[in-house]
């Protein structure tokens, strides 16, 4: 993704023949892949949190798996966690909804709660 002024440009994610990358929801990761994808997504959410944002509509349908790595899509409603009164609620919903998909597939159930605590802290640090 690249950000130019007020525009967000996202390149096509898929194969050169035009087949789109699969949604996370359509994948069946092995345990090591599942944990690696969770870790990558946690990193992406951390970057957003450091900027004071959360995705706002995160689920296994708004993540594509491209070249073996998860990519967030569908970000037009990205939410200001601090300035928006509903921000903390969106952050919580994002992490819980994504976390439920992963824990239903064997991720450590403590991981989403840990991430939520961390992201709350990071978004708070960003803008008091």
Ligand X SMILES: Nc1ncnc2c1ncn2[C@@H]1O[C@H](COP(=O)(O)OP(=O)(O)O)[C@@H](O)[C@H]1O
Q: Point out which residues bind ligand X (CB under 6 A).
A: 10, 12-14, 20-21, 62, 64, 73-74
Residue 4: DSSP 8-state = E
58 to 87: interface string for Mg ion, x by CB under 5 A: ----x-----------x-------------
Contacted by 12, from Mg ion, ligand X, none: CB < 5 to 8 Å by type: ligand X
Minimum distance between the CB of residue 118 and Mg ion, rounded to whole angstroms? 25
How many residues does this entry show for the chain?
128
Helix (H, G, I), strand (E, B) or coil at 54: strand
Residue nearest Mg ion by beta-carbon distance: 74
1 to 40: interface string for Mg ion, x by CB under 5 A: ----------------------------------------
Contact 54, 81 (CB under 8 A): yes
Contact 62, 73 (CB under 8 A): yes
d(CA 38, CA 58): 13
123 makes contact with Mg ion (CB under 5 A): no
Which CB, 73 or 91, lies closer to ligand X?
A: 73
Contact 112, 96 (CB under 8 A): yes
């Amino acid at each position: 993704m690249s950000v130019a002024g007020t525009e967000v440009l996202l390149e096509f994610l898929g194969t050169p023949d035009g087949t789109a990358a699969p949604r996370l929801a359509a994948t069946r990761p092995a345990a090591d892949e599942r944990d690696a994808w969770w870790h990558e997504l946690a990193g992406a959410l951390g970057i957003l949190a450091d900027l004071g944002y959360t995705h706002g509509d995160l689920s296994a349908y708004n993540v594509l798996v491209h070249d073996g790595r998860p990519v967030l899509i569908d970000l037009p409603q990205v939410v200001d966690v601090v300035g928006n009164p509903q921000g903390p609620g969106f952050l919580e919903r994002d992490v819980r909804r994504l976390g439920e998909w992963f824990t239903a597939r064997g991720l450590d159930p403590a991981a989403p709660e840990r991430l939520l605590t961390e992201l709350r802290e990071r978004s708070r640090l960003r803008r008091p």
